[in-house]
Chains A and B, each alone.
Chain A
């Protein structure tokens, strides 16, 4: 079950739109565009009448008492349909504040200085040590990704870059590599699948799953190709972060 009561009212968008008309005509001056209140009227998204309402069950009796409307008339004159539509409109406003609502969207993140971003890319950030403007996933990145996704990708490439999976053949360039050198026998290198204090497993170049018990004499060395990205998180400033986004966004 999700948040709130199991019988929380659903919102019919068409009816909510009809309710919006009544809202604009009779309610908006005091309770605001989003029903979050003004100096003249309370926030209705926190109103118990609204929160306990089921399609007008609470709202109707309240309005029928004769609540004064902005036109000067009495809410007692509202029809049952108008009240029901207002109920849909108000529940829609309550839902606006939830994560996942249509309003729950990132705003403009493209605020940096592209020129400063290029300088950071080629200088202090040492990005150019591995990347060029046309290599390693950067070719045309400004035309392929939204700015917020550019921001996320360069800060957190590979979602952490561990490249793990339950036995799945993860063999991407960004996966963590591991070399296991047993006490006797040849070293084995592959994509790291799982490692703890007791065991380590990998997928070798031939695609075979290999597992080793860790202990004295067993040497385990990992190589994370994204380690530089992770280390960047400790040094990059927010200004530099925004500048790099602005620069990468120019790579169309």
Chain B
């Protein structure tokens, strides 16, 4: 069921301290990662993707050099697709994923250490967002609905657990997150009308500890009042296909949920359709909901609100507040109090045309005329959204929330005009759009600067204390921008458009930036001046 190859075990063992030994991840690193690792999907629990490293900065980024390149080697595993996951870096070893594949690489050289391949029984192979690591164990999801644990030393399989039903057209893609003694997973799939859920598994045994359904499964449950009947809500969708964020002090885990089902034709699911398209706070010990905020009530445009809910503390009217912010797929930017979900800022981060204001909770109110129509409704954003899965970043240094955004139009059609549509029942077609990186002042939601990408760009982001934001650009390039002004300072042409969010870490005194582009992982490094060896 697997293929594990050893290419450099002897090398790792022999070269001593300067090469990462494959020792486990100290759990304390998940709470305080430091700058020498990137131990979870977003680097830490906050989702900020901000590094305090400054060795690469706005004054010297022009000297950034190519460190190494690794092209995905799937062995006999066919085409692994693009790198849409964020790699992890623990003790000098990078752990990289693609659907059905995991690789361990030397973070200093890019040399492959081992490769694990999963024999798939199906499922959508659109992407894998990454892995989680705890001590000596790695966890990742497979398209055919498994949570798999590997030994990080050699990639050998420890256990596998089913997390969803392939026959119901679920699939696995999300990067798990470690919280306390549990690994948190989510599920994907919007072909059939099935409920999304978040789920916790025991780190050691893999046994399921709890499951929280995004949509109510019985009348009388919280949120059931927002559905017309039990049949509609039980099948109401809300996939959990993006990694969660977590506040250890509040003991709240923030789950972002996908669109309701049926996706486009919506006549048989009248109501707000809770808790789809929402930010939801869960107690990670029990899976019980603390609060919710619905970014897209009664969504009809495939606008998942799974975009990262980013945690930071900020000043609001002179008071320090615990905040959570999201640039949602529907084009609206929200800043909430993360203790209770109350909205502080609700505004657009790109111009949209589908809502008619905000309700008393700060949630957008959909304009019924902009729901999909049989003869078409011209809507902005399009189905791809103002933002999608590529992660944003927040810099506490600049106070700016950065997101790669798209202002796009398309026409939404109802294809199934019956009173009981299933699946999609319609779609959008056509489109014109423009892409830009938006730097948003979290206090007001106003755009501090906007950097237009000629020809489009949709990539994840990384910000650093070096006053930099790293993004994919419009020319299959990695671009470094001045985080304060948006000025493009440096770029490097790659083999393909950036397909994930960059990470950074420091090893041996040198700062690295690692980014995926198509089937290739690129490492850039600011080398320290070193004496010549004899």
Contacts and interface: CB of A to CB of B under 8 A. Distances in A.
A152 to B, nearest CB: 4
Interface size class of A (residues with CB under 8 A): 35 or more
A51 B192 CA distance: 10
Contact of A8 (B122, B171, B375, B413): B122
Contacts of A103: 415-416
B377 A5 contact: no
A4 B166 CA distance: 6
Given A109-B374, A198-B488, A4 B191 contact: yes
B99 to A, nearest CB: 9
A10 interface: no
Contacts of B415: 103-107
Given A46-B235, A99-B427, A156-B431, A195 B474 contact: yes
Contacts of B416: 103
A208 B310 CA distance: 48
B123 A238 contact: no
A155 B455 contact: no
Interface stretch (B214-222, B356-364, B417-425, B518-526): B417-425
A109 B420 contact: no
Nearest to A32: B420
A46 B194 CA distance: 8
A230 to B, nearest CB: 6
B373 A238 contact: yes
A238 B413 CA distance: 12
Given A51-B167, A99-B423, A233-B380, A197 B122 contact: no
Nearest to B120: A1
B125 A155 contact: no
Contacts of B65: none
A221 interface: no
Interface residues of B, number: 60
B424 A238 contact: no
B123 A196 contact: no
Nearest to B410: A156
Given A155-B378, A155-B411, A104 B424 contact: yes
Given A1-B123, A196-B491, A162 B455 contact: yes
Interface in B454-482: 454-455, 473-475, 477, 479
B509 interface: no
Contact of B124 (A2, A98, A160, A241): A2
B38 to A, nearest CB: 27
B433 interface: yes
A34 B421 CA distance: 10
A179 B3 CA distance: 55
Contacts of A160: 431-433
A249 B147 CA distance: 54
A6 interface: yes
B423 A196 contact: no
Given A107-B415, A109-B413, A241-B378, A43 B121 contact: no
A113 to B, nearest CB: 12
Interface in B389-414: 409, 411, 413-414
B378 A164 contact: no
Most buried by A among B351, B416, B423, B425: B423
A61 B417 CA distance: 35
Given A36-B422, A99-B423, A99-B427, A3 B189 contact: yes
Contact of B422 (A6, A45, A111, A195): A45
A92 interface: no
A6 B121 contact: yes
A144 interface: no
Contacts of B424: 97-99, 104
B231 interface: yes
Given A1-B124, A3-B123, A155-B409, A108 B374 contact: yes
Nearest to B265: A97
Contacts of A242: 375-376
A186 interface: no
B122 A6 contact: yes
A195 B455 CA distance: 7
B473 A197 contact: yes
A194 B122 CA distance: 39
A48 interface: yes
B143 interface: yes
Contacts of A111: 374-375
Given A5-B167, A160-B431, A197-B488, 11 more contacts: A1-B125, A5-B121, A34-B418, A36-B422, A94-B192, A109-B375, A109-B376, A194-B455, A195-B474, A238-B377, A238-B378
24 contacts: A4-B167, A5-B121, A7-B121, A48-B168, A51-B167, A97-B424, A98-B423, A106-B415, A108-B375, A111-B375, A148-B376, A152-B429, A152-B430, A155-B409, A156-B409, A160-B431, A160-B432, A160-B433, A196-B474, A230-B432, A233-B378, A236-B378, A238-B369, A242-B375
* List of 7 A-B pairs having minimum Cβ-Cβ separation, nearest first: A97-B423, A6-B122, A97-B422, A197-B488, A5-B122, A109-B375, A156-B430
